[in-house]
Structures are given as structure tokens and as C-alpha cells.
Amino acid sequence: MTAAATKIIQPLPLNFTNTTARSPDKALFHPLKTTPSSSFPASTHKLRLTKPNSTLARRRSTAVFAVSDVVQEKKPKSNTFHPNLLITKEEGLELYEDMILGRSFEDMCAQMYYRGKMFGFVHLYNGQEAVSTGFIKLLKNEDCIVSTYRDHVHALSKGVPARAVMSELFGKTTGCCRGQGGSMHMFSKEHNVLGGFAFIGEGIPVATGAAFTSKYRREVLKEGDCDHVTLAFFGDGTCNNGQFFECLNMAALWKLPIVFVVENNLWAIGMSHLRATSDPEIWKKGPAFGMPGVHVDGMDVLKVREVAKEAISRARRGEGPTLVECETYRFRGHSLADPDELRDPSEKAHYAARDPITALKKYMVENNLASEAELKAIEKKIDEVVEEAVEFADSSPHPGRSQLLENVFADPRGFGIGPDGKYRCEDPKFTEGTAHV
Amino acid sequence: MERDARVCVMGEDVGHYGGSYKVTKDLANKYGDLRVLDTPIAENSFTGMAIGAAMTGLRPIVEGMNMGFLLLAFNQISNNCGMLHYTSGGQFTIPVVIRGPGGVGRQLGAEHSQRLESYFQSIPGIQMVACSTPYNAKGLMKAAIRSENPVILFEHVLLYNLKERIPDEEYVLNLEEAEMVRPGEHITILTYSRMRYHVMQAAKTLVNKGYDPEVIDIRSLKPFDLHTIGNSVKKTHRVLIVEECMRTGGIGASLTAAINEYFHDYLDAPVVCLSSQDVPTPYAGTLEEWTVVQPTQIVTAVEQLCR
């Protein structure tokens, strides 16, 4: 084995300006240069959905070009002073609050875990809030989302109450899944959160199925106004998994109303994306299956939101799926059990400087969308929400024995017929949870 | 499918081709390409897709072109089909039916001759049934479609050509019940799927020799119908299980354990289980014949048990 083969390959250094670097866009926002003026120059006009400037794109002459105009949203009402801003004040405050909620909640999870209130595998989302907020805040309640084990914040963005998520993490009956799912299985029928999956990739087909239902309702059940969209969130590691490719194929084949959102945080536990992937530019895999592939700065909630608007609108119009690769980063380890020793401190520092919350705050204040005081008030409000969630979870009961056998089957006759001829679920030991199945 | 517009079929070649064993013949003409969906060859993903569709209101029937192919869908069948109702705290139901032809055929080779019921039986949250006649195939299929639970329906490659008169009126069978095929007094023979026919063939010989076997087609592989089985054991005191699963870890192994646990006091002899050999099903006809249980072995086993 040569020395080169055994060297740990670090991700590309920060000043790497080749087009194969993480941000193939000529950096619109260079993290190491502080630009005093507005730093979110996301274009609201032509949204180019592939990268014609990239040398790699030029090499691949079969790259599908999808150039589409951003759907013209209603002109924001209260923006007479700033016609070029991407958000109104209300929208900005909503985005800010959602990201603060995600961050505070996850920080509280870390505290609670180390205090022995939360157990098992807990995967925190710190740093990636722009993706969850940027996408999910554009959805209707009837739209569905599917996530992975890093799912707390997706559930929160979709509207699952913080107390329900916290309770679930504490393993209490008042959790959104009655304490039966845990950190990696957040579900909500009310808010159309279809999970929470522990194995990477296994949620993508489920999301594809939800999108299939949407199309089926429109075309078979003749519910002409059914335009529900599904978002599937997953990471860079998942993009080497068969289910990813199989679902890209089916979604494009049947033009399903789904957006595949890749949260590329460069690391799958300790496996660098670049060590695992022959062609690390995930967005390019979309056109291979006949759908647009987009790369976006996932640390910038406004850029994510602009791309999300177009992708979601495409799906709603019946034009089919989009693959969106969000360049993002997790500030913490893979899970609370991960010592996080492999990642270069300079890489962490680079992304810490691009904290999406700090960036949005800066944008709002500099463009006079909100004052520091207003934002502080939101932070305080969220602190209280999270504290209340913990109190609620703490004071909620643990599941009793009787809960053990409920929910195994939707129809408990599935436990079968006992020796006495009666269905076993009619045996009182079943409701007590003491029966043996 | 006519009764409920949410019922749909997904699988390889189920649409235009009508199914590898023509189970879905002409359905695509009648109901369209979306309700009878020809999928690409991606078992894990289209099974997962069916599960996602079931969670959001549809009632899909997934066909494994050969049940063996569903090994590729084990991830989805175990984690999402079986467990998702529980891990979601009961919020989402998965009313899917997963069906297809399995079992040992005529020299189809090892991979096309598998018995997946032994691999799937431990998955919590699913029901498994095996049909063996046109009558119970229809009844169990309807029951499976209407059930709110995920059901795996095992058909057999060699049983599709059976012909039988079945009622014109609608009927639905009970997923959890076994079928009394031939009442008797001397011995309880428990079987399912194709082995039912080997048992009935052996039964003819046994009757001529003066034996009176009670034959039960257990139909419900998970859960077992302990009532029908138990009543029989209490009557005959002798049990022979005849199955096509391999010796190790098959349905017969579980059934033996269940009978020993519940009806030990009623047994006059140990439970005997005749299974296929723990061997990849060989291609050669002679070898294949020796891997599965043949009627002569059943006759011998009964004679020994009833000694």
C-alpha cells in the first residue's frame, strides 16, 4: 500500500477555486470576506437549473438544460421601500423564528441527553436549519414530508408541536408517536410527517409513494384540485444507495409531484462524501434520470427558499420531480455519541462563519426588515417554548404495560385465534399488555 | 378493484403483460395504467412506494413476480410494512397486500424455488396467509385487500392451473382461520399450499390401508389458528406437519413449538414435521424430487406415528 492510499483524504481546502469545489458558483458570498452590503444576491429572475459554467457540465454534452423562470409570486405587500428584497417582514420573522426554534430545540436535546432524559441514538440538526425552514415553510399542511433519523427539526418546521417532539424523545406517552418511535421515528398524521426512518434511503420510496397518491387522486379518483407535493429529505451518504436511484427513476418516469432534497453536509458519520462517491456533485445525477438538478447554498435560507419555490411549483403544476442538492453542514457530530474527531477544525470554522441564523439576522437588520429587539423577542419566546416543552415532557407519564401490544396491528385480529376459539385480542391480558404473542 | 377505487396493483409486468402467471390479466385494459402499474425492476423501492401510498390513503397490492424477488424488498417489508404502524404510535396504517408465486416448481432452479414464508414470519405486525385452492385464493385475497393490516399472500407456482367451481356471490374468508379439508380420528396432518395435494394423495393410500387422517390446511401461516389446530390435536393426539419450507426455521418449526407449548398434554407422541431438505433446490429433476416431501414419505410417517 502506498503512502498516498493510506492518507486520510480531507475535504477540499477552503481556498480551492476549481469548479469541482463545493460551491461551483463563482462565490457570490465569500465567507472569509466580510461584505458590508446585502449578502443574499439570489436571483429572482432566470433560475438556471444546471451549471453551464462548470467544466464538467461542458464535458457532458448530454446534460439536460432546464431553464425556467421563477413562478411570479404575488408582489410582496409591505415592501414598497425595498422592491428587490426577497422576503417581506412577516416572512422574515417566520423564517427566523423557525430556525431559532430548530436550533434551540436541538441544543436542548443535547442538554437533556447528557442529563439522562433522552436515550439511544440522537442526531442533531444544528447548522442545517436553512434547509428545513427554507423548504418546509413553503408547504401547505396537506403536503407531505419524509425525513431520515435527523428528523426533529423537519417535524418542527412542519408544525408538530415542540412539546410533542420532546415528549417523544423522552419516551413518554404524550409523544407524537406515544413514545414508541423515538428520535429517529417522528411521525405526525395531522401534519403529514411521514417519518422519521432509521435506515438511510428507506424513506425515499415512502415519499415516492405519497407523491404517487397525489397523482392517483388527481388522475384516477378525479380529485382535480389535488396538487399535494411531497418533499423527501436525505443526506449525501444516501445518494450512493440504490433506493435513491430507483426512486429518481420512478419519480421522473411518472412525473410524480416530489422534490428530492439532498442535505449534503459532506459527512456520513466519519465517511467523507468525497471518499465515498465517484462523482461527488449530486445535483448532476438529476438530469441523468430526466429531471432538473439544482445546487444551492444550503447555509442561506433565502437562496434555499428561492430554489424551493420553483421546485415545489414545478411539482404542483404536474411537471414532475426536481433534485435539489443543498450544500450544508452539521455543527455537531453525527449523533450525540459521535466524538467528531475526523473533521478538520478549519472546515468547521468555515461553516460556523456561515451560520444560517446569523446570516438571516444580518440580512433582516441591514435591510430594516426587523430590529435587533424584535429578533431578540423571538429568541426569548422560543426559549420559553422549548422550556415548556421540557417541562411538559418531564411531567408526562411513561407508557404503561397496557401500551405494549397496542398498535402492533391496526386490526388486532391479526394476533389470531386462541385455543379457546376467541380472538386473542379479546383476552383481557391483551389490553393489560401481559399476554404473550 | 371495482368496489373500491383506492385499490390498485403494482408490480413488474402486471399491466400490459397481465402478470407473470396472468393473475392480473386484462385488468390494465379495464382500469388503466395507473391503477395497474407496471413498475421498473426495483422491488425494494416499489414496495416502499406502495407503503407510502398506503399511508396516504390508497390500498395497493404489490406483486412479487416470483416471491423470491421480494428478498430485495426485505428492508421495506420488515421496517416499514411490519413496523411502521407501531413506530408511528398507530397514526399510519399500511393496508397493503404483498402477493406472488413462490414455492418449489418444476426445475426452476434454486433461486426461483424459495419459500419466503420462513424468512418473513418473525416480522412483527404482518399477517401471512397461503392459498391453495381457487376457492380460498379468492376468499383470502378479498380478505387481505379489505384488511387494515399488511398481509403477505403466498401463492404457489404449480397451483395456478387448478380449476374449481366457486360461488357466484361474493364471499370473503377469514384471514386467521384454518380450513378443515378432511375430518378424521387417527392423526392430525397440518399442511398448507401445494403440500396439501401431496397430503391428500397420501391420504387416499392411507384410507385404503385403514387409517383415518384428519387433514387441516392451516392457511394462516402467521398467526396460527390455534383453535382449529388445538381441537384436532385434542381429538387425535398425534400430529404430523407437512410443509415445503426447509427444515430449519420454517413454518413447521414454529408450528411444532406452538403445539408443544399449548397442547403438550394432549400428545401421545412427539410432533413430527416433514419439511424440505436444507438444500438449495437443485435443477436436476431427480434431485429436486428428493428435496421436497413426497406422498410416500407422508404415508410412512403416518404409519410410524400411528404404530
* Residue B183 and residue B233 in one domain: yes
B91 touching chain A per CB within 8 A: yes
* Residue B17 and residue B132 in one domain: yes
Confidence of residue B129 (pLDDT cuts 50, 70, 90): very high
* Residue A328 and residue A417 in one domain: no
* Residue A360 and residue A291 in one domain: yes
Q: Which amino acid is at B57?
A: G
Burial class (CB in 10 A: 0-12, 13-18, 19+), A50: buried
What average pLDDT does the segment A343-363 reach? 96
* Residue B124 and residue B241 in one domain: no
Domain CATH code at residue A253: 3.40.50.970
CA B149-B152-B158 angle, to 5 degrees, is 155
Min Cα separation A352/chain B (Å): 34
**Domain membership flag for residue B168:** no
In angstroms, the CA B184 to CA B268 distance is 16
* Residue B84 and residue B28 in one domain: yes
Q: Which amino acid is at A352?
A: A
Across A17-21, A304-308, B185-189, least confident range: A17-21
* Cβ atoms B16, A174 nearer than 8 A: no
B81 touching chain A per CB within 8 A: no
* Residue B83 and residue B124 in one domain: yes
Confidence of residue A11 (pLDDT cuts 50, 70, 90): very low
**Domain membership flag for residue A73:** no
Residue A39 has pLDDT above 70, yes or no: no
* Residue B22 and residue B139 in one domain: yes
What average pLDDT does the segment B150-168 reach? 97
First vs last C-alpha separation in chain A: 54
A234 touching chain B per CB within 8 A: no
Confidence of residue A59 (pLDDT cuts 50, 70, 90): very low
* Residue A410 and residue A351 in one domain: no
Helix (H, G, I), strand (E, B) or coil at A79: coil
* Residue A323 and residue A424 in one domain: no
Domain range enclosing A270: 89-399
CA B183-B219-B147 angle, to 5 degrees, is 135
Q: Which residues of B touch A205 (CB under 8 A)?
A: 44-49, 51-52, 76
Q: Which residue of B has its CA nearest to A254?
A: B34
* Residue B133 and residue B249 in one domain: no
Per the structure, how many domains does chain B have?
2
Residue A34 has pLDDT above 70, yes or no: no
Question: How many A-B residue pairs are in contact by the CB < 8 A criterion?
Answer: 191
pLDDT of residue A434: 81
> Would the CB atoms of A250 and B175 count as touching at under 8 Å?
no
> Least CB-CB distance to B227: which of A187, A409, A421?
A421
* Residue B11 and residue B125 in one domain: yes
Domain CATH code at residue B55: 3.40.50.970
* Residue A429 and residue A354 in one domain: no
Q: Which residues of A touch B84 (CB under 8 A)?
A: 195
> Least CB-CB distance to B224: which of A409, A414, A416?
A416
In angstroms, the CA B132 to CA B154 distance is 9
Q: Which B residues in the span 163-222 are in contact with A, Cβ-Cβ below 8 Å? A: 175-177, 220, 222
* Residue A153 and residue A111 in one domain: yes
CA B94-B100-B105 angle, to 5 degrees, is 155
Residue A211 has pLDDT above 70, yes or no: yes
Q: Which residues of A touch B75 (CB under 8 A)?
A: 199, 202
* Residue B138 and residue B237 in one domain: no
| Residue that terminates a domain, selected from B97, B125, B156 | B156
Best of A199, A246, A255 to disrupt the B interface by mutation (most B CBs within 10 Å)?
A246
Residue A66 has pLDDT above 60, yes or no: no
Q: Which B residues in the span 242-261 are in contact with A, Cβ-Cβ below 8 Å? A: none
Q: Which amino acid is at B64?
A: G
Annotated catalytic residue, options B12, B63, B112, B155: B112
In angstroms, the CA A184 to CA A145 distance is 14
* Residue B90 and residue B192 in one domain: no
* Residue B120 and residue B244 in one domain: no
Per the structure, how many domains does chain A have?
2
Q: How many percent of chain A have pLDDT more than 90?
A: 76
* Residue A322 and residue A194 in one domain: yes
* Cβ atoms B247, B71 nearer than 8 A: no
What average pLDDT does the segment B6-27 reach? 97
* Residue A174 and residue A125 in one domain: yes
pLDDT of residue A435: 79
* Residue A299 and residue A258 in one domain: yes
The string of pLDDT tens digits covering residues A280-326 is: 999 999 999 999 999 999 999 999 999 999 999 999 999 999 999 99
Q: How many percent of chain B have pLDDT more than 90?
A: 100
pLDDT of residue A82: 57
Confidence of residue A83 (pLDDT cuts 50, 70, 90): low
Residue A363 has pLDDT above 90, yes or no: yes
In angstroms, the CA B231 to CA A228 distance is 53
Best of A149, A177, A216 to disrupt the B interface by mutation (most B CBs within 10 Å)?
A216
Q: Which residues of B touch A185 (CB under 8 A)?
A: 87-88
* Residue B127 and residue B23 in one domain: yes
Domain CATH code at residue B293: 3.40.50.920
Residue A267 has pLDDT above 60, yes or no: yes
Q: Which residues of B touch A196 (CB under 8 A)?
A: 87-88
pLDDT of residue A125: 97
Strand partners, A325: A262, A295
Q: Enter the ipTM.
A: 0.95
**Domain membership flag for residue A31:** no
pLDDT of residue A13: 38
Cα–Cα separations (whole angstroms), residue B144 to A78, B7, B274: 56, 12, 28
**Domain membership flag for residue B20:** yes
Q: Which residues of A touch B54 (CB under 8 A)?
A: 209
> Would the CB atoms of B89 and A146 count as touching at under 8 Å?
no
> Would the CB atoms of B58 and A178 count as touching at under 8 Å?
no
Q: How many percent of chain A have pLDDT more than 70?
A: 81
In angstroms, the CA B222 to CA B120 distance is 10
Give me A57's grid cell: 457540465
* Residue A234 and residue A303 in one domain: yes
Q: Which B residues in the span 98-157 are in contact with A, Cβ-Cβ below 8 Å? A: 124-125, 127, 147-149
> Least CB-CB distance to B42: which of A176, A202, A250?
A250
Active site residue B43: yes
The string of pLDDT tens digits covering residues A242-263 is: 999 999 999 999 999 999 999 9
Residue A373 has pLDDT above 90, yes or no: yes
> Would the CB atoms of B49 and A420 count as touching at under 8 Å?
no
Q: Which residue of B has its CA nearest to A201?
A: B45
Across A10-24, A91-105, B92-106, B269-283, least confident range: A10-24
Helix (H, G, I), strand (E, B) or coil at B119: helix
Helix (H, G, I), strand (E, B) or coil at A413: helix
pLDDT of residue A432: 81
Confidence of residue A31 (pLDDT cuts 50, 70, 90): very low
* Residue A365 and residue A320 in one domain: yes
Domain range enclosing B124: 7-156
Residue A47 has pLDDT above 70, yes or no: no
Q: How many percent of chain B have pLDDT more than 70?
A: 100
**Domain membership flag for residue A120:** yes
> Taking the mean position of all CA atoms in its chain, how far away is CA A258?
14
pLDDT of residue A67: 35
**Domain membership flag for residue A158:** yes
**Domain membership flag for residue B163:** no
Q: Which A residues in the span 186-205 are in contact with B, Cβ-Cβ below 8 Å? A: 187-189, 194-199, 202, 204-205
**Domain membership flag for residue A245:** yes
> Least CB-CB distance to A216: which of B58, B92, B263?
B58
Tracing cell 393473475 back to the chain, one arrives at B23
Best of A408, A420, A423 to disrupt the B interface by mutation (most B CBs within 10 Å)?
A408
A208 touching chain B per CB within 8 A: yes
**Domain membership flag for residue B172:** no
Confidence of residue A430 (pLDDT cuts 50, 70, 90): confident
More confident residue, A46 or A365: A365
> Would the CB atoms of A205 and B177 count as touching at under 8 Å?
no
**Domain membership flag for residue B174:** no
> Least CB-CB distance to B52: which of A189, A194, A407?
A194
What average pLDDT does the segment A379-391 reach? 98
pLDDT of residue A306: 97
* Residue A179 and residue A229 in one domain: yes
Q: Which B residues in the span 33-72 are in contact with A, Cβ-Cβ below 8 Å? A: 34-35, 39-40, 42, 44-58
* Cβ atoms A202, A234 nearer than 8 A: no
Please provide the average confidence, as pLDDT, over all residues in chain A. Answer: 85
